[in-house]
Structure 1
């Protein structure tokens, strides 16, 4: 069945031969004449709305664009999402962060290409993008990952749109997935102390660096005696990367950048005891393994044994020891600006979203303070 649209717009149809083509799952085919008057066909449109929307775009483009430009754009629009993404990725020269580049590659290879890779750019519309987000949600992709994946897809599609592959913005009106961080689970002090007793020496030192100095797992795996720059200051210079298994720059920092964090006496003494017993590498690293460095895999095996021997505590994981640092700092009145800097967060907003429920200030306390100020003023 073919439905003819307004004169000059073209037509759309299905050639599947199904008894009820409007209800069958087969895609629609559109036919139209390009700016040079040549008959063209495109397929892969899931609904009549998709087909009509694309024909409308083509008709508007033909009316407003020079034939040579329209032909070049049409050729670009014939590229698949996968092929364009492969061309787009090497052009992102400012993407110097290894982990960021890795996450972009993962978004493209694991999520975007399998779901949208074969679709031609000129057939990608906001409806198609909405379906992409629905598929991720139905497949159980976490909201945090959805946010990052959609950010990559939007960058790719907007780049193609800017070059004329589509007549209209393919993500116009599409709302970003909303990531609402759940309240983090924080172990009590007695749990942290018990963990330090139960853990083997390597893991115990990592836990001490996380709970006492607020380091991330990878940063704690890179604990180094040369980073003790004062009796009470530890300089965080690098991490042992989860994928390369080698030292790498800090998250949210450029190569060579560092941050300095408080070094409690008990943590410094733990470093000194470990060094006295086990020594260090020639570069000052304390934790090490067969490949030279203490890796995530080595940590994971020890963590598995650790939690078997600890009393059950809901939602507590290894990262909980870093959360404990934030809880201890904020609960004792240390400004959140300092905590954000020490923990290496990209912005204070991240610290606030994650730990605002731990801050000692509250409405009741604020009311008392403001009341006192009002009476004094009177």
Structure 2
């Protein structure tokens, strides 16, 4: 089989019959062409009745590659990633999630291992469309998976597929038109001020301090366990810089934050006085107020707060309302802010939520605004 090369990079045209090249013009067999595709793979096409048609096609391919280097790069990406199984693509995507806090990383790994990979691991990336995603959601519903887990699994799948969409694997977003699982958090049970006062006066000094930090400044229990007197940056401002990581059992970056990032929260005088009183009474270690009761060289562990909470509840030393948990102390902070007209955007920032959507879903019912109130306020402005 003879072939004829054109200019460098254009490819070749040939016939696969036994006729010599000199007889091609009179030979009834079709011409074939061979060229390198965008990814460097050799491609062969056939069905060209004349030499001129074969050359025209080779010229078109060559000109396209020269004119569109970006299209070539895109084609290479599509060819490489489009044929990947979901498991391999998800592993590459996961390796790029370096910003995740340890708890968030564990959640992602759990969702991949228990929900995404069992259902999708062998599927090629270029075969995803809205029907595949809808089937994934429907199968989770059929399996009676909790709505919160369904929502989280869908969010992770969406992140992976949107990443692939940006690479150009899909012509159309495979999530378009898909209705995600609807997760609405249950309404939070919030202690009344009198109930909070009873809780705040119970337990030992460390328990009382933690209750104050969570209900007065909105700290998570791990953040409260890392309380440091040096973080009082103004009379009315506390800077949250770290938390006690419940897995590593040592100090680490805040949730949804990179190492070194922080957030400033309001510091009510009552809580500042409690911090300063505790420091004077019990001393500090490098500014930290709380240490492990059995080993002062170790950080105070958040589970110790939970243990004391359970002991107080079991002993019925305080009347803890049904549904009130330790996290309800943070809910009290949000409720106290919103009921006094503090914007929900500020509350979301102070509580360290990743998105204001989370704050809105949990605490929308606490916001004092109603249509009737809005109508009255607007009428006042119109009458001015």
Do the two structures share a fold, i.e. TM-score over 0.5?
yes
Q: 1:86 to 1:312 in 2, by over 3 A?
A: same
Structure 1 equivalent of residue 21 of structure 2 = none
Does the Cα contact within 8 Å between 2:184 and 2:361 map onto a contact in 1?
no
* Structure with greater Cα Rg: 2
Structure 2 equivalent of residue 105 of structure 1 = 109
Aligned residue runs from structure 1 range 132-281, under 5 A: 132-159=136-163, 170-281=174-285
Q: 1:357 to 1:174 in 2, by over 3 A?
A: closer
Structure 1 equivalent of residue 349 of structure 2 = 341
Structure 2 equivalent of residue 351 of structure 1 = 359
In structure 2, distance between residues paired with 1:151 and 1:118? 20
SS in 1 for 2:337: helix
In structure 1, distance between residues paired with 2:261 and 2:120? 38
Structure 1 equivalent of residue 299 of structure 2 = 293
Structure 1 equivalent of residue 89 of structure 2 = 84
| Unaligned 5+ runs, structure 2 | 1-42, 46-73
Q: 1:118 to 1:295 in 2, by over 3 A?
A: farther
Q: 1:118 to 1:301 in 2, by over 3 A?
A: farther
Does the Cα contact within 8 Å between 2:210 and 2:224 map onto a contact in 1?
yes
| Unaligned 5+ runs, structure 1 | 1-34, 38-68
Structure 1 equivalent of residue 18 of structure 2 = none
In structure 2, distance between residues paired with 1:211 and 1:362? 26
Aligned-residue Cα RMSD (Å) equals 3.3
Cα displacement string for residues 130-153 of structure 1 (whole angstroms, at most 9, x for unaligned residues): 332233334454434333322222
In structure 2, distance between residues paired with 1:243 and 1:321? 22
Does the Cα contact within 8 Å between 1:76 and 1:164 map onto a contact in 2?
no
From 305, 308, 314, the equivalent of 2:311 is: 305
Does the Cα contact within 8 Å between 1:78 and 1:122 map onto a contact in 2?
yes
The answer on 1:327 being equivalent to 2:327 is no
Does the Cα contact within 8 Å between 1:249 and 1:256 map onto a contact in 2?
yes
Residues matched between the structures, number: 309
In structure 1, distance between residues paired with 2:350 and 2:188? 18
TM-score by length of 2: 0.68
Cα displacement string for residues 67-87 of structure 1 (whole angstroms, at most 9, x for unaligned residues): xx9999788666543233223
From 351, 363, 371, the equivalent of 2:371 is: 363
SS in 2 for 1:280: coil
In structure 2, distance between residues paired with 1:208 and 1:267? 6
Shift, 1:179, TM fit: 2.4
